[in-house]
Amino acid sequence: MLFVLDENPTSLDVLLSDLSRRFGRDFTVRGDSSSEEALSTLQAMAAASEPVALLLVADDAMEFLARAHKLHPRAKRVLLVDRDYSATSPAVQAITLGHADYHIVRPWMDDEVMYRSMTAYLSTWTRDQEPNFELFRIIAAEGDRKIPLLRDVMTRFSMPFGFYDIESEAGRHLLDAAGLDTSRLPVVIRYDGRVMIDPGLPELARAIGVSVSNDIDVCDLAIIGAGPAGLTAAVYAASEGLETVMLELAVSGGQAGSSPMIRNYPGFPHGIDGGSLMERTCEQAWLMGAHIVFAQEAVGLERERDHRIVRLRDGSQVRARAVIIATGVRWRRLGVPRLEALVGAGVFYGAAMSESRAMQDQNVFVIGAGNSAGQAALHLAKYAATVTLLARGKDLATSMSSYLVRAIAATPNVAVRLCTEVSDGGGCDALEYLHLADRANGTVQEVPADALFIMIGGEPHTQWLPSKIARDGGGYILTGHDLLQQPEVQWQGGHEPLPLETGMPGVFAAGDVRHGSIARVASAVGDGATAVRLVHEYLREHQATPARQES
Ligand SMILES: Cc1cc2nc3c(=O)[nH]c(=O)nc-3n(C[C@H](O)[C@H](O)[C@H](O)COP(=O)(O)OP(=O)(O)OC[C@H]3O[C@@H](n4cnc5c(N)ncnc54)[C@H](O)[C@@H]3O)c2cc1C
């Protein structure tokens, strides 16, 4: 159902007929000019469990929209906005505070423009629903620690999947049909009947259809890490004619791929979920001709004459004329042993997006005071009964963007506990409770908890690098002029280090892994593109230079 409230009967009729013409085959299109009538229709639909996909409402009917959304919390909310691009337009506040998802400006010049927007909004709604067609079926026991990995991989590759508890009739039926019993779980069944028992990442990635081994021995550029920095570098390098291999230890997307909603990436006024943004970039890199290898960790890097040699976990290696390290950061650990033991069983690092559907009606806690914690809390609030954001500091404003602080304050089922640390927690097979220590008065309170998302910053993925790649005290890679400020760095490039060039000439660093990075998707993307430009410069300078002169 697409439901419109417009108090002007003439424009209501126009909108209903425009929407019916394009979407009438797949959706019922209804509307009303009276908010009371509209609410009673929506109430009856909620009672009959009839889903509403879009609620289209004039931007001065926010109270109605809030009540309608309470009845249909999964519906996407679209504001009908009259031409007003001032900062005081009600749409600005409504979208910032999360009271609306999208807007369309009317009158629209061209129906196709309106249809294109509606189609995009509907496709987001469709993605949030249980899929009609499942490419993969996962059969597992509730609380199995492999479930978060399986969900994450499926979500990052946008694979429609169904989850079947082994206790359910459908779960048992699927196992019977595959001739299996419950002794080895989880089981993953592909649409064509291929069965995988307790699959690891490489097996899953292969079943999805991506490469997990490298078939290129020598290339121009090896990129390590497929987050926004690495993927962007792959798009630019491959499109500019460099033979490019990209190696990723898990699957594509990096941290950005786990972000439920990125609102500050240019070009997406209503925001975009990080998984979709990264999936598109990955597809673009592939279409440009990059060789993309997943589930392959880089474990060593050395220089041999003209080449940099990247050693991989499976024992193979890639020889490249230049390298970009874009390995980002890993979440800092909480260090509470009982909670570490429950990672994947109610305790998660990052992962708010792939786990969100499973949080329906749960009591969820998020630790962290940065933007990612704020976004996760807001996203989880759409599903969970309650979300409690736990922060050690005295306020959120010092570390979180003000639009998020305001959105959190305006979301009724999100509570914030400041000056609070998680000192302990536990549960039998899954998280059941947390101990919250109040830093101000030293008291400890035990609270029931269904899930805990930990978002307390990260450490760079640089432990595997040789000492030649100089790093700061936090492990972040020093580049360009910063290298020359370090007395212990002996630069041997034969040229001034280029910006983004590391202590090993011809090896560049991009994104969050770099000292001084500002840890944003857009800056990682900028770094990725810039690094490729510098790789060209480096290769041009060194093409004719014999290796012995280079060192
Ligand atoms: C939940 C969440 C929400 C966020 N929201 C926003 C937001 O709204 N706006 C914003 O601007 N920023 C946001 N950020 C920050 C943003 O995602 C990061 O700044 C950005 O992803 C950094 O990109 P990157 O490519 O440098 O590194 P990463 O995204 O960390 O990617 C690095 C990749 O390298 C891989 N890798 C690591 N080591 C190896 C190895 N040895 N071999 C092979 N591969 C390796 C990793 O698996 C990973 O895929 C968010 C972050 C998180 C976690």
Number of neighbours of residue 17 by Cβ within 10 angstroms: 11
Is 520's C-beta closer than 6 angstroms to any atom of ligand 1? Answer: yes
- What pLDDT, on a 0 to 100 scale, did the predictor assign at position 352? 62
C-alpha 381 to ligand 1 mean position (Å): 23
Low-confidence ranges of the chain (pLDDT < 70): 97, 350-354, 429, 544-551
Question: For ligand 1, is residue 491 a contact (CB within 6 Å)?
Answer: no
Distance 393 CA to ligand 1 centre (A): 25
Angle at 508 between CA 504 and CA 509, to 5 degrees: 115
Q: Are 495 and 503 in contact (CB under 8 A)?
A: no
Distance 371 CA to ligand 1 centre (A): 14
Q: Is 427 in the pocket of ligand 1 (CB under 6 A)?
A: no
Spatial CB neighbours of 137, under 8 Å, sequence gap ≥ 6: 161, 162, 164, 174, 188, 189
Q: What is the pLDDT of residue 341?
A: 82
Nearest CA owner, ligand 1 atom 45 = 225
Q: What's the pLDDT at 430? A: 74
Distance CA(551)–CA(542), nearest Å, equals 11
pLDDT for the residue numbered 99: 80
Global confidence as pTM: 0.83
Does 293 sit in the ligand 1 pocket, CB within 6 Å? no
Query: Using a 6 Å cutoff on CB, does residue 530 contact ligand 1?
Result: no
Residue 551 has a pLDDT of: 38
Q: Is the peptide bond before 266 cis (omega within 30 degrees of 0)?
A: no
The atom number, within ligand 1, closest to the CA of 510 reads 26
Helix%, strand%, coil% for the chain, nearest 5: 35, 25, 40
- What's the 256 CA to ligand 1 centre distance in angstroms? 5
What confidence score (pLDDT) does residue 545 get?
A: 44
Q: Kindly write down the DSSP assignment for every residue of 331-383, as one continuous string.
A: EPP---HHHHTTBTTTEEES-HHHHGGGGTT-EEEEE--SHHHHHHHHHHHTT
The residue whose CA has the least distance to atom 13 of ligand 1 is 520
Q: What is the pLDDT of residues 120-140, one digit of tens each?
A: 999 989 887 877 789 999 999
Cβ-count burial 429-445 (b if 16+ within 10 Å, e if not): ebbeebbbbeeeeeeee
Is the CB of residue 301 below 6 angstroms from any atom belonging to ligand 1?
A: no
- pLDDT recorded at residue 273: 86
